[in-house]
Amino acid sequence: MTQDADNQAVPINDRAAGAAGNPPSSVTATLMAEDISRARDRLAVEKARGQGSRPAGWGAIRLLWLLIGPGVLVFLGENDAPSMLSYAATGSTFGIGFFLPFIVITFMAAWIVQEMTSRLGAVTHRGHAELIFDRFGPFWGFFSMADLFLGNFLTLVTEFIGIRAGLGYFGVPPAIAVAGAIILILAVTMTRRYWTWERILLALALFNGLFVPVALMTHPHWGAIGRAFLTWQPLPGGINNNNLLLMLADIGATVTPWMLFFQQGATTDKGMQPRDVIWGRLDTTLGMVLATVFGLAVVIATVPLYTHGISAANFRGAQFAQALQPFVGRIGSSLFALGLVQAGLLAAISISTSSAYAFGEVLKQAHSLNRSIKEAWPFYLALLGSAITAGIIVLIPDAPLEFIVLIVNVIAVLAMPPALLFLLLLVNDREVMGEHVNGIWLNAAGITVTVLLIVCGIGYGVTSVFPHLLG
């Protein structure tokens, strides 16, 4: 039997199953449209691969084009509205001396984490939540889910705050801004095809680069930027509670739990195989490089506020765009505001999808963007329900939005060590990873990142309770 257009199951007989490399059975196997859609994507990959596993020239470029997606999306998705606002606060408060190299280091740490996640998805073909439940049991599975859902939901609220603020710069009423964002999320999600969804999001992700021309419009001092990297300058004011909060916010702008669940779920949904591990690594590297450049651009773009002594301590959303207008003009400030809108939209789609992947894995329900709403309604309900609820909260009068924006990245940092511990255990499990287990250098790097995040979290907690310790 052939597959119809409505994502219905297709029975295949034992001979077909055997031809596909599966053991025959006494019962009829079932082939879902999800499998057929993924098989079509894999066929395109194998055609691009040609006769060898390492094509060169245009073949390699085409293969990379077919396999990129999860890594680029996870990094540019993490360059979200609160992250860009954290970078804007960094540039306007401290300039470039300490934080430019610091931000680069945080992205390098994120690469270590996401490379392991991509490899785990390609080798196991299973989602992150599913593996935690299977390997560590229900208690730790539900613990990780609670960790994820709380952080994801608070972050989703901040994405809608960013969308509302960015469109507010152009006079769009909050209700229309939020409703428009939800309609766009709905439209993108309803493609019923992972490949289409991924390509739409990649096109949207490129607009994260809007911050680059804004930075160039400020006529940055390239010599000072170079010195910032060559002679890493001390943190102005030293280590105190406020500075530590900003450092944690910048770390939380690059390393968060949702990224693990999203990239592993997307890698699985894309149908990547163990032989694609190297391409997943390239995809992750490309995402890291783009996100680093765009994040640094926000810091550089807001340096004029620092050099002119403009206090931006209490700035929110579009206020940064308004404050930059004397330095970059109406076009530059409009690009900055549009960048916030893009950052919020892409992240809202990515984060709600990561929650839906985990939700489907936990309930043992269909959780693929290749499935129809009828087949995977819990997955789509979790995805759209979380986005709609977060959007509604943003419209509630007197909701504590400022507090949520301030604390969301810090919560992400505090929630990250348990997620990293699970990840390290999984990528070192030979029963799970086979020959693709972590090597000694990746283990050293992963453990170092985990320890640093724990120290940062403890440091923030101690200085919050005993602020006099740091003056």
Tokens of 300: 């550089």
pLDDT of residue 28: 39
Confidence of residue 192 (pLDDT cuts 50, 70, 90): confident
Residue 354 has pLDDT above 70, yes or no: yes
Annotate 265-297 with three-state secondary structure: HHHHHHCCCHHHHHHHHHHHHHHHHHHHHHHHH
> Model pTM?
0.86
Question: What are the chain's domains?
Answer: 70-470 (1.20.1740.10)
pLDDT of residue 467: 59
Query: Percentage of residues in the chain with pLDDT exceeding 70?
Result: 84
The helix/strand/coil state of 381 is: helix
Residue 117 has pLDDT above 90, yes or no: yes
Confidence of residue 315 (pLDDT cuts 50, 70, 90): low
- The more confident residue out of 152 and 25 is 152
CA-CA distance, 247 to 25, in Å (whole number)? 57
DSSP codes joined into one string, 408-431:
HHHHHHHHHHHHHHHHHHHHT-HH
CA-CA distance, 120 to 234, in Å (whole number)? 38
Confidence of residue 454 (pLDDT cuts 50, 70, 90): confident
